[in-house]
Each structure stands twice: as structure tokens, then as C-alpha cells.
Amino acid sequence: MIELSAIHKSFGGTPVLRGVTLSVPKGESCVIIGGSGTGKSVTIKCVLGLAMPDSGTIRVDGQDVTRTDRDAFLARFGMLFQGAALFDSMPVWQNVAFRLLRGTLKRPRREAREIAIEKLRRVGLRPDVADLYPAELSGGMQKRVGLARAIAAEPQIIFFDEPTTGLDPIMAGVINDLIREIVTEMGVTAVTITHDMSSVRAIADSVAMLHDGVIKWHGPVSRLDDSGDPYLDQFVNGRAEGPIEAVR
Ligand SMILES: Nc1ncnc2c1ncn2[C@@H]1O[C@H](COP(=O)(O)OP(=O)(O)OP(=O)(O)O)[C@@H](O)[C@H]1O
């Protein structure tokens, strides 16, 4: 369970988050949508402790994130970054096993490699991909590797940051389906940031829309098309006209 309560965060006097309150129950997949620069990434960074809120509280399974042991806390998270963010100098298997080769989750090298190969298989990649370098892979394969890395350490919570950016619509669909399957199968709590409405429909149990520094709407994905909320409606339908001002 992730609980954000009245989170405020400003940068250089400019408020970005003005009281974000959001709960994601254990095992639920919540997708955060909202315009560019509305603070979706900042919200996630606050949960991960990469940014400190000015006020408000964030609890994960009842524990205040600012007061827990960081290493033990982060060991419970998996993260798929925008653009996969693989280390070019490392072969694929070491990218996947990154957290299993160092720190609190360290395993013997052979075991870490076996886990990496098993996770690669889970995301549809053959074992011979393990010894290739990221530059030798297509964008879709790199995303799969990023996904394998996110699940390698069996996390309880996974963050997906723009998981389909840069992929063609078919590959985006494949990655969305894979994310949904893995989230369900592992029973993890998932939080995804995306602009891609097809991702929202494929991945979400619940949808939260961030606008003007607050969660304007939060509800089940089944209500997306009849929410009755003019902000959500404009966003979902990609309309230039509506309560959200489009900067031209
Ligand atoms: N470290 C920082 N220092 C100063 N300003 C920041 C910092 N991090 C974020 N911001 C500002 O906070 C605002 C929200 O940024 P954020 O990256 O969270 O937006 P976003 O909703 O994730 O956008 P996008 O969808 O384009 O990725 C932006 O105006 C950004 O410039």
C-alpha cells in the first residue's frame, strides 16, 4: 500500500505539487496521467526518496518513507526507466542482474546470471541475448531488458516511467501486455506514468490524473470514458478545447 497525503513540493518558489493525496492498495496497478510538466515524475521521485517533499507524508505499508532505512526500503522497489536506461558498457545479463551483483541483494555471480537468464526468458528474450551489449539490441528489446531488470530482484512495488516511449504502436502493445501479465502474476503494486492512452487501458486498474498540482480525478479504469470530469475527458480525448489550457 502506497499512501501519499497532502504532498507539497516547490522548486525555486514555483509550486509543482500543491497537496497530492493518493492511495494505491497492495497489488493494484495505478497509472498516473497528466500534461507535460505537471509533476508526475516529481511525485514518483518523492516516493523513492529522490526528492524531498516540502510537506505532507508518504507511507509505504504504513512506514513513513523519510524515516526508514534507505537500502532496505529501495530493495523492495523495481523501476523501469524511460528509454530503458541500460548501461552500455555491460552485457545484457549484468544489466538485468545489476542489483543482484552488489549491495544488500548481492548473490553469487553464477546464481545472478541464472536469475538474469530466467527473467530474460520471462520477457520473451532468448538466453543468447544475455551476452550481447545494449547497443546491439532494438528499442523494443531494450525495453524488455529494462523490464527484466525491474523484476530481477522480485520487488513488491514497481514503477514504470513512460514504458512505451519511442516504440511503434505494435511493440508498445506487446510491452503493455507484458507489463500487465507480469504485474498480475507477481501480485506487485505498480505505479506507471504515461502519456499513452493505450498503455493506460492495458495496464491500469485505477487511473489518477494530476493537474494544477493536485489529483483532479482518481477512479477505476472502467470509468475513464464516462467519468463526467471535464479535465479527464479533455485529456483522454486529446481535445485542444476544454478547461485545461493548451499552450500554443
Ligand atoms: N530538480 C528540479 N529542479 C527544478 N525544477 C524541477 C526539478 N525537477 C522537476 N522540476 C520542475 O517540476 C515540474 C514538473 O516536472 P516533472 O518532470 O515531474 O513533470 P512530468 O509531469 O513528469 O512531465 P513529463 O510528462 O513531461 O515527463 C517541471 O516544471 C520541472 O521543470
DSSP 9-52: EEETTEEEEEEEEEEE-TT-EEEEE--TTSSHHHHHHHHHTSS-
Residues 207-224: what's their mean pLDDT? 95
Task: Tell how far the Cα of 121 is from the centroid of ligand 1, in angstroms.
Answer: 35
Residue 87: band (very low, low, confident or very high) from pLDDT cuts 50, 70, 90: very high
Give the pLDDT confidence of 105-159 residue by residue, as tens digits: 899 999 999 999 999 999 999 999 999 999 999 988 999 999 999 999 999 999 9
Ligand 1 site-directed mutation target among 16, 50, 81, 214, most atoms within 8 Å of CB: 16
Handedness of CA 139, 140, 145, 150 (dihedral sign): positive
Ligand 1 site-directed mutation target among 17, 38, 40, 42, most atoms within 8 Å of CB: 42
Q: How many CA atoms lie within 13 A of 179 on its CB side?
A: 38
Residue 247: band (very low, low, confident or very high) from pLDDT cuts 50, 70, 90: low
8 Å CB contact between 130 and 137: no
Cα-based distances in Å from 86 to 17, 65, 98: 30, 27, 10
CATH superfamily, with its number, for domain 1-75+189-241: P-loop containing nucleotide triphosphate hydrolases (3.40.50.300)
Question: What ipTM does the predicted assembly reach?
Answer: 0.95
